[in-house]
Amino acid sequence: MEPIGILNDGQIFDLQTAEALNIVGDTIKADDSNESLEILRHSTAHLMAQAIKELYPEAKFFVGPVVNEGFYYDFKVNSKISDEDLPKIEKKMKELADRKLPITRHETSREEFYEKFKNDELKQAVLKNIKDEVITVYKQGDFEDLCRGPHLPNTRMIRSFKLTRVAGAYLGGDEKNEMITRIYGISFFDKKALNDYITMLEEAKKRDHRKLGTELELFTFNDEVGAGLPLWLPNGARLRSKLEHLLYKAHRIRGYEPVRGPEILKADMWRTSGHYANYKENMYFTTIDEQEYGIKPMNCVGHIQIFDNDLVSYKELPKKFFEYGVVHRHELSGAMHGLFRVREFTQDDAHIFCTQNQIKDVIFEVLEFVDSLLKLFDFKYEIEVSTKPEKAIGDDIFWETTTKAIMNALDEKNISYGIDEGGGAFYGPKIDIKILDAIGRKWQCGTVQIDMNLPSRFNISYINEKGEKEQPVMIHRAILGSFERFIGILTEHCAGEFPFAIAPTQVIFIPIAEPHVAYAKELQRELIENDLDSSIYDMNESLNKRIRMAEKQRVPMLVILGDEEVANRTVALRDRRKREQSNLSKDEFLQNLINILKGSKI
C-alpha cells in the first residue's frame, strides 16, 4: 500500500502539504483506517465537484467536507438535480478518475483569490469564514477550489465510490439564507467494503423507522401541526409508555427520585446558566408581562432549583433526580429527519449532585445502568470521552482536571474508550455512549457529563462534615438520549420486531368465527389487568387473510381461537419469534406472558 499522507500530533496532512511545510510524522497508507478514508473521501468530494462542473458548467460551489456518513458537497446549478441524476455524475467521475489527474496544492493571497472569484457569491461566502491572509487552493485538471486538504496525490486512486442521495441545504446552515443543493457520497479503497456498505444502505431502507412507523401506525407528522413535532398514535404511545414504565422502575431501584421542572423559565435563568450566551440560537423565546422567557432546551436549570429548594446534608449525597423532561430546540428545517431530529422531544434525563470523592462511583453506577439497559435491547456499544469544544465556559484547569478524572475512572475499571476531540458540552467534558445497531451503524445516545460550572454559577451548596457550605459536583446523565430518537433507532435495529416487554401489541387474538369473539374479549380483559396489550382480529375477512394481516403487524404472539379452545378454556398459540406453536391452558398462557414481563428487568 502506497503512502498518501502524514499523521503528526493527531493531525492529518497530505503529502503535498507535508512536503511544502517540511512536516514529518507517521505515514498514512491507502488502507481503510479512519485517517486514510478521510483523505480519500475529501478527494472523492472534489472529484464529484469536478464532474458536476463538467456536466453543469454554470455550477458554483460552497463547501465539501468529510462527515461520518462519507462526504458531501454544497453547490448550486440552474437545473434541478435529483437522485435520478446521480448515475450520470458517477459516470463522469469515473471518466475523470481514469485520466489520473495530479492533485496539486497552491498558495495564494486573499486578494488574488477574491479577484479571481469576485462574481462567485458562494466562493466569497467561504472566503469570509477564513481569516488567513495566505490561503490554499487545490487543483486537478480544470477544477480548483479553496481548500486546506488533505487530498490524495492523484485521482487514479479513487475507484470505489457511490453517490447516495441528493438533499437541500441552507447556505452556511442558516435557514435565513437561500436553499442550495447537497449531494452525499461514500468511498473506500476496497471494493468489497463499498459493496458491503451498499448492502447496508439497502437493508437500512427496509428498516427505515419512518416507513415502519407508518406501517405499524406508531407516529405521524403533519405540516399543519408543524415541522419536527411528532404525533404519537395509539400504538406508538403504548410502546413509549411501556419504555417509560420500564425505565421508571429501574431508576427507583437505583435510588433516583422523580422530579419535574417547568417547560418555560425566565430568560435571566438562562443568562446565569450560560445557555443564553452559548446556546441561544438553539432556543425559543417569548415575552410575558414585558419579561423575556426561554422555553427550556435542557432540564438542568430546573433540577438545580429543586436541589436548592432544601438545605442538603453531605449524608444525603449523592442526590439523584430524574425526569422525563420535554424540551424544545430550534432545528433547521433541512436538518430534521423523522424521529432522529425533531424540535420537541423528551429526554430520559437525570442530574446527580455529589461530592468530588463520589464522582468515580457515580460514573461506574451510571455505566452499569447503561449496560443493563442496552443488553435488554441487544445493543452493543462503545464509549467515547468528549473534550472541550470551541465554545465553552470554565478555565483550562477545570477542563483538564475534569477530563483527566473521567479518563482515570474508566482506566481503573479497564473500560476501553475513544476520544472525541472538541465534542464536550459547553459546560464540561462528557462520556458519550455510541450504540451499534443490527446492521453495524453507530448512534450517539446516552451521555454522562461532569459539571462544576453550573453549581458555581447558581451558587448552590450542601452542608459538609464540618457544618460548612460546600459546592457539589453536578453530573448530567441520559441513557436513551431522548425517547424519540431511541425509539427511531430501536425500530430500525429490530426492524419493527420490538422486544415483548415494550411491544405496542403483544398478542393478536384471531377468533375463527363469531361465537369465539366473546372468549377473545375475556382473554383481552385479563391481559390488560396484567399490563399486557392485545388486539382482536374479528373483521369480516377469511381466517387466512386475518392471519396474514396479523403477521404484518410484527406482534410477538398470535392466538387462534375456535370451538375446541372455547370449550376447553385453552389457546392455540403461535410464537412468531421462536417459530413455535403450542396448545396451552388459559392459566398457563397468562402465566407465561407474565413471567416474560418479569424477566425484562433493567
Give the annotated binding-site residues: 300, 351, 476
> 3-state class of 367 per DSSP?
helix
Are 36 and 28 in contact by the 8 Å Cβ rule? The answer is yes
| Annotated binding-site members for Zn(2+) | 300, 351, 476
Question: With the C-alpha atoms ordered 86, 89, 91, 93, is the resulting torsion angle positive or negative?
Answer: negative
| Three cell numbers written together for 136 | 490554499
Annotation says 576 is catalytic = no
Annotation says 252 is catalytic = no
> 3-state class of 602 per DSSP?
coil
Grid coordinates 423559565 are at which residue? 265
Grid coordinates 481503573 are at which residue? 412
Question: With the C-alpha atoms ordered 556, 562, 566, 568, is the resulting torsion angle positive or negative?
Answer: negative
Are 302 and 275 in contact by the 8 Å Cβ rule? The answer is no
User: Which of 300, 354, 445, 494 is the catalytic position?
Assistant: 300
| Three cell numbers written together for 567 | 370449550
Question: With the C-alpha atoms ordered 252, 257, 262, 268, is the resulting torsion angle positive or negative?
Answer: negative
Annotation says 430 is catalytic = yes
User: Which of 14, 74, 145, 349 is the catalytic position?
Assistant: 349
User: Which of 42, 209, 240, 430 is the catalytic position?
Assistant: 430
Inter-CA distances, 293 with 277, 281, 285, 288, 301, Å: 15, 14, 6, 7, 13
Structure letter (DSSP) for residue 30: S
Beta bridge partners of 70: 67
Q: Are strands 344-354 and 380-386 parallel, antiparallel or unpaired?
A: unpaired
Are 433 and 381 in contact by the 8 Å Cβ rule? The answer is yes
Phi and psi for 473 in degrees, rounded to 5? -90, 140
User: Which of 41, 476, 493, 554 is the catalytic position?
Assistant: 476
Spatial distance between the Cα atoms of 329 and 349, rounded to a whole number of angstroms: 15
Are 296 and 347 in contact by the 8 Å Cβ rule? The answer is no
Comparing C-alpha atoms, which of 86, 331, 115, 87 is closest to residue 228? Answer: 331
Q: What is the largest CA-CA distance in the chain?
A: 91
Annotation says 420 is catalytic = no
Annotation says 354 is catalytic = no
User: Which of 162, 329, 457, 485 is the catalytic position?
Assistant: 329
User: Which of 251, 320, 351, 457 is the catalytic position?
Assistant: 351
Annotation says 329 is catalytic = yes
Structure letter (DSSP) for residue 153: S
Annotation says 449 is catalytic = no
Are 594 and 531 in contact by the 8 Å Cβ rule? The answer is no
Question: Active-site positions?
Answer: 300, 329, 347, 349, 351, 430, 476
